Amino acid sequence: MHKFWTASLLILFPIFVFSQSETNSLLNELDATLENNHIYKTKKENEIGKLKELLKFTTTDLQKYEIYGKLFGEYRFYQSDSALSYARKNLRIAKQLSDIAKVNTAKLNLASIMETLGMYKEATDIINKINIQITPEIKVTYFGVASSLYLSMSYYAASVEEKKHYIALRKKYSDSILKFYPTQSKSHLFTTSNQLLESGKYQENLDLLLNYYPKLKNSDTDQAVVAYLISQTYHQKKEFELEKEWLIKSAISDLRLEKKEYISLRALAFLLYQEGDIDRSYTYIKRSLEDALFCNARLRTYEISKMMPIINKAYEKQNETNHNQLVYFLVSATVLSLILLVILFLLFKQMKKLAKAKREISIANKQSLTLNEELKVFNEKLNETNTTLKEANLVKEIYIGRYMDQCSVYISKLDGYRRKLNVIVTSGKKDELVRAIKSKEFIDEELKDFYNNFDKTFLLLFPNFIEDFSRLLTDKDDIKLKSGELMNTELRIFALIRLGISDSVKISEFLRYSLSTIYNYRTKLRNKAAGPREEFEANVMRIGTNK
C-alpha cells in the first residue's frame, strides 16, 4: 500500500508542478496585459474615432443606421452611457426608415444596454412591446436578450417568488433558442452550455466548450465568454486550479479587447483573495472597479463594491503586518548590532590580553606539551612545503639553464654570422653581402629552432596542455598538428596566455604575426568554446591546475 501511494505521488507531482508553472505564466501574462492597458485603449479609441469620422461623410439614413449600429457595438462593453446614446439614435433612424426589422433590432440593442445599466423596467417594457412574429428573422437576438435580461433580474429579485418567476421566464426563452436555431449556431451552443451547467452535467459541458474554444480567434469577443463558462464548470467540479487558469484566460481576452463590463477579473480577484495572494487580488479588484465606473456598469459596480471592502481590509492588514515585521526586523537588527559591537569590544580587549600573555610566554620561553605537539605538526607541514619548494626550484633551475644555454647558442650563432659577413666584406663580394643581408633564411631557421625549443619546454611544463585545451572546444578535432609538429600557431598563442602573457601586442611580437592575425586567431577559437565564450581564456589559465 505504501508503494502504491509513493508511485502515485511520483506520477502526480510533475503534473502538479507543470500546472502551477502554467498558472504562474498566465498570471504574469495577465499582469503584463494590465500594465500595457494604454496600448489596447488607444486601439479601441482609434476604432471608435474612425467610425465617428466616417459618420461625418454619410449622406443617407441607411448609412447612419449602419454606423450607429457599429458604434453601439464598440461601446457595448466599453462605455454604457455612450452605447445607450447610440442605441437611441439608431432607433430614431430605424423609425425614419420605416423598416420594422431594423426598428426591432434597434429596440433589442436598447433593451440589452438598459440591462447593463440596471434599467430592468424600461428593458422589459421594450421586450414586451415587440411583436416578434412580424420579424421572425431576429428571433435569435430577441430570445437571447430576453433570456439574459431575466437571468440578471433573477440575481437581484427581492423575493423567492419573484426569483422563481424570472428563472422560469429565462428558461422559456432559452428553450426557444434551442428549439428554433441549429445545433451548430453560437446561440444554441451557449444556451446548451448554460443548461448543462445548471443541470450538473459538467463533463458534457467541458467536452462541448473545450472542443469549441480552439476555434475562436483572439479578436473574437466570445473567447472570454467561453473561457468564463469553462472556469465555472471547473468551479462546480471543485477543480479550483483549472478554474483559476480559465478565469485568467477570460480576463486576458476581456482586457485586450478593452471590455470594461466583465466578470472574470473580479471573480479571479476574489479567488486569489481566498488563496492568500492579497497583492494581486487588490490590484485586480481595484482595476475591475475602475473599469466598471468608466463603463458606468452600475450592477458590476454594485457587485464589486460588496467585495472591495473585504479585499481592501485584507490588503491594509497585510501592509500593516509587513510594516510591523519591518519595524521588528529593524529593531532586532539594531539590537543585534549593538550586541555585536559589545562582543567585538570585549573580544578586542581579550585579544590584547592574549597578545600580552603570549609576549610574556615568549620572553619566559615556557612552552607547554600541547604547544610542542602543535610545533611538531607545523614543522612536518613546513618540511613538506620546503620539499615542494625544492622540487619547484629544481624545475626552475632546469628551465633557466635551458634558456641560458639557448641564449649562449644564439650568441655563438650571431658571432659566427658576424664573422661570415666580415669575411664577405673583406673579400669585397658586395653582391653576396647584399644577398646575405636580405635573406631571411638565417632568421627563419633560428625562429624555427626557437619555437621548437619553446614547444618542448612548454610541453615539459604542461605535458597534457594540448589534450586539456582540445576539451575546451566544441570539436576536439579543431586542433590539427602536422607531422613532426609539437604545437601550431593557435596553440602557441594560448600557451603564452597560459603563461600569463595575454596582451595581443606582446603575443604578436613574440610570434612575429600582425596584431589583426593574433586577434582573429583568438576570436575564432573563442567562438568554438564548449562553454561560455567570455570564460574561455580564464579556463585556459586553469589548465595544469587542480581547479
Reported as a single tens digit per residue, the pLDDT across 495-535 is 999 988 989 899 988 888 999 999 998 898 888 888 898 88
When pLDDT is averaged across residues 254-271 and rounded to a whole number, the result is: 88
Cα 37 to the chain's mean position, in Å? 19
Q: What is the pTM of this model?
A: 0.55
Cell of 313: 481590509
Residue of 93 and 4 predicted with greater confidence = 93
Distance CA 168, CA 170 (A): 5
When pLDDT is averaged across residues 387-403 and rounded to a whole number, the result is: 51
Least confident segment among 14-23, 108-117, 127-136, 497-506: 14-23
- Write 23-27 long-range contacts (CB < 8 A, 24+): 23/241, 23/244, 23/245, 23/248, 26/245, 26/248, 26/249, 26/252, 27/248, 27/280
| pLDDT surpassing 60 at residue 401 | no
Who contacts 491 (Cβ-Cβ below 8 Å, separation ≥6)?
Answer: 465, 466, 469, 479
Q: Which amino acid is at 241?
A: E
Residue of 343 and 92 predicted with greater confidence = 92
When pLDDT is averaged across residues 112-123 and rounded to a whole number, the result is: 90
Q: Which amino acid is at 302?
A: Y
When pLDDT is averaged across residues 537-541 and rounded to a whole number, the result is: 88
Q: What is the per-residue pLDDT for 471?
A: 86
Please report which confidence band the pLDDT of residue 347 belongs to, taking 50, 70 and 90 as the band edges: confident
Q: What is the per-residue pLDDT for 32?
A: 94
Please report which confidence band the pLDDT of residue 12 belongs to, taking 50, 70 and 90 as the band edges: very low
Q: What is the per-residue pLDDT for 7?
A: 47
| pLDDT surpassing 90 at residue 245 | yes
Nearest to 241 by CA among 229, 227, 231: 231
When pLDDT is averaged across residues 223-240 and rounded to a whole number, the result is: 92
Q: What is the per-residue pLDDT for 392?
A: 46
Q: How far is CA 144 from CA 106, 170, 199, in A?
A: 14, 9, 20
| pLDDT surpassing 70 at residue 223 | yes
Q: What is the per-residue pLDDT for 382?
A: 59
Cell of 201: 452535467
Q: Percentage of residues in the chain with pLDDT exceeding 90?
A: 26
CA dihedral 392, 393, 396, 398 (to 10 degrees): -110
| pLDDT surpassing 90 at residue 92 | yes
What's phi and psi for 473, nearest 5 deg? -105, 155
| pLDDT surpassing 70 at residue 169 | yes
Q: What is the per-residue pLDDT for 418?
A: 67
When pLDDT is averaged across residues 387-392 and rounded to a whole number, the result is: 47
Who contacts 349 (Cβ-Cβ below 8 Å, separation ≥6)?
Answer: none
As a whole number of Å, the end-to-end CA separation of the chain is 48
When pLDDT is averaged across residues 482-489 and rounded to a whole number, the result is: 85
Please report which confidence band the pLDDT of residue 371 belongs to, taking 50, 70 and 90 as the band edges: low
Q: Mean pLDDT score of the chain, rounded to an integer?
A: 81
What kind and span of H or E run contains 337?
helix 298-364
When pLDDT is averaged across residues 423-427 and rounded to a whole number, the result is: 77
Residue of 450 and 69 predicted with greater confidence = 69
Q: Could you count the other beta carbons within 10 Å of the beta carbon of residue 385?
A: 10
Who contacts 531 (Cβ-Cβ below 8 Å, separation ≥6)?
Answer: 472, 539
Least confident segment among 212-226, 260-274, 318-332, 482-496: 318-332
Q: Which amino acid is at 533?
A: R
Q: What is the per-residue pLDDT for 228?
A: 92
Please report which confidence band the pLDDT of residue 394 belongs to, taking 50, 70 and 90 as the band edges: very low
Q: What is the per-residue pLDDT for 45?
A: 93
Asked whether the beta carbons of 267 and 285 are under 8 A apart, the reply is no
